[in-house]
Amino acid sequence: MNPHLELLHPYPFQRLRQLLAGVTPPAGKPHINLSIGEPKHPTPEVVKQALIGALDGLAAYPATLGSEALRRSCADWLARRYQVTVDPAREVLPVCGSREALFSFVQAVIDPRGETQPVLISPNPFYQIYEGAALLAGAVPHYVNCVAANRFQPDWSSVSEDIWRRTQVVIVCSPGNPTGAVMSLDDWRELFALSDRYGFVIASDECYSEIYFDTPPLGGLEAARLLGRGHERLVMFTSLSKRSNAPGLRSGFVAGDAAILEKFLLFRTYHGSAMSQTVQEASIAAWNDEAHVVENRAAYAAKFAAVTERIGKLLPVSRPDAGFYLWAEVPGGDDAAFARELFAREHITVLPGSFLARDAHGVNPGAGRVRLALVAPLAECVAAAERIEHFVR
C-alpha cells in the first residue's frame, strides 16, 4: 500500500461522529443538521430537464476534454461574471466537481524530485482535501493561519524564506470555508508578487463565489485582469454544487494557465475522470441560466437575515462576506464540548472549528469556534437559532 496513506487524518465528520457517539438527544426535538455544507435547496428544473433530455448520452464514452459546447458555456459564464476572456479550447477544462479536481490537480503539479521535500501552502482552517492531496503527492502541507485579526486572510509575512523556496502550490479559498472571507485586490496583488518571485502555482478554490449578499466576490482570474496580468501560474476552480444546488451532478470546471491545463488534461486522460455527455448537457443548461442563481442567493440572504442577529446576541458572530456559513465563537472556548452538549440538549449538530484546522505556529485557529451551515430550510434555520439561543442562555 502507498505509505503516504498512513499520513492522512480522519475527516472532520468522522471525528464528529466519534464526538457524538453515545449521546442520546431529546426525542421530542427534531434533528437539525447545521454541520455539513451540503446544499438543500431544490435543483433547478432547467438542469433536471436538460439531464433527462440527454440520457442518450449515457451510451457513449465521453471525451476528457469535454464538448466544445460545454467549454464555450463555461468561458461565456466567465466573461459575464468576471469580464474575463479565456480560450475555451486551451484555458477551460470540465471536471467532476471541484473536490475531485483539486485533489487530482495537486497530484499533477507537485514535482517530488529534488533534494528537499516540496511544500504546498494551505489556509488554516481549510477544506481537508487540500491537506490530503498534498500528503498523497509527497508534499509537506504548510498551514498559514487565518484569524480575525487579519480579516481571516492568510498572513503571508509569517511564511519563512526557506518555506517559500520549497513551495510549489499555494491554495487559496475565496470566499473562504469556513470563514466566508473574500480576498481583496490588494490581497491578490501580494500573492501574485510572491508567485512571480518564487514560481509557485496558485490554485484558487472559488466554489462559494455565487452565494453573496451585496458585492460579487472578486475572483482570481478577475484580479489578474484588473492588475494587467495574464493567467500564468494561476488556475481557478469552480463547480455547480453550491451555485446551482446540484452537488450530486459532480460538475465544475477549471480555468487559467493554458500550459498547466495542457499537462493537467494529460494527467486526466489516465485518471479516468471524464464527465458523461448527459451531465455535460445538464451543466451547459446550468451555466447558461442565472435566474435560478439569483433565487438561490435570495433564499440564503433571507436565512442570514433571520438568524445572524439572533445568534449574534449571545455568540460573537457576524454575517460573512459570502458563502453559507456562520463562523461563531463559543462561550468557554471549548468548541468540541459546546458541539457535544448542544447536540445532547437541543438535537442540533454543528461542526467544531478545531476539527477544520491544524495546530500551527502555537495555535489552532479553529479552536473556540463552530461552523454553522445555513443550508436547511428557513424554518429549520430559525428553529435552530431559537434552540441555540435557549441553550446558550
Residues 138 and 275 in one domain: yes
Give the pLDDT band of residue 241 (cuts 50, 70, 90): very high
Claim to verify: residue 250 and residue 352 sit in the same structural domain = no
Q: What is the pLDDT of residue 63?
A: 96
CA dihedral sign, ordered 37, 41, 44, 50:
positive
Domain end position, chosen among 288, 318, 349 = 288
Q: Which of 267, 288, 309 is the last residue of a domain?
A: 288
Q: Model-level pTM? A: 0.97
What pLDDT shows up at residue 111?
97
| Residues in the chain, total | 393
Same domain assignment for residues 234 and 371: no
pLDDT tens-place string over residues 121-169: 999 999 999 999 999 999 999 999 999 999 999 999 999 999 999 999 9
List the CATH number of the domain containing 123: 3.40.640.10
Residues 214 and 314 in one domain: no
Its domain, for residue 384, covers 9-42+292-392
Can you give the pLDDT at residue 310?
93
Going by their DSSP bridges, the two strands 201-205 and 167-173 should be labelled as parallel
pLDDT on residue 215? 95
Pairing status of strand 351-352 against strand 167-173: unpaired
Residues 37 and 56 in one domain: no
Q: How confident is the model at residue 80 (pLDDT cuts 50, 70, 90)?
A: very high
Determine, yes or no, domain membership for 3: no
Same domain, 234 and 302: no
Residues 54 and 25 occupy one common structural domain = no
- In this structure, are 14 and 74 located in the same domain? no
- Residue 103 exposure: Cα atoms within 13 Å on the Cβ side: 11
For residues 270 and 297, membership in a common domain is answered with no
Q: For residues 360, 362, 364 and 365, what is the CA-based torsion angle, rounded to 10 degrees?
A: -90
**Residue 44 confidence (pLDDT):** 98
Q: What is the CA radius of gyration of the chain?
A: 21
Average pLDDT over residues 309-315: 92
Confidence of residue 293 (pLDDT cuts 50, 70, 90): very high
Answer with the one of 288, 322, 356 that is the final residue of a domain: 288
Distance from C-alpha of 299 to C-alpha of 324, rounded to nearest angstrom: 11
Number of domains in the chain: 2
Q: Report how far residue 60's alpha carbon sits from residue 38's, in angstroms, rounded to the nearest whole number.
A: 30
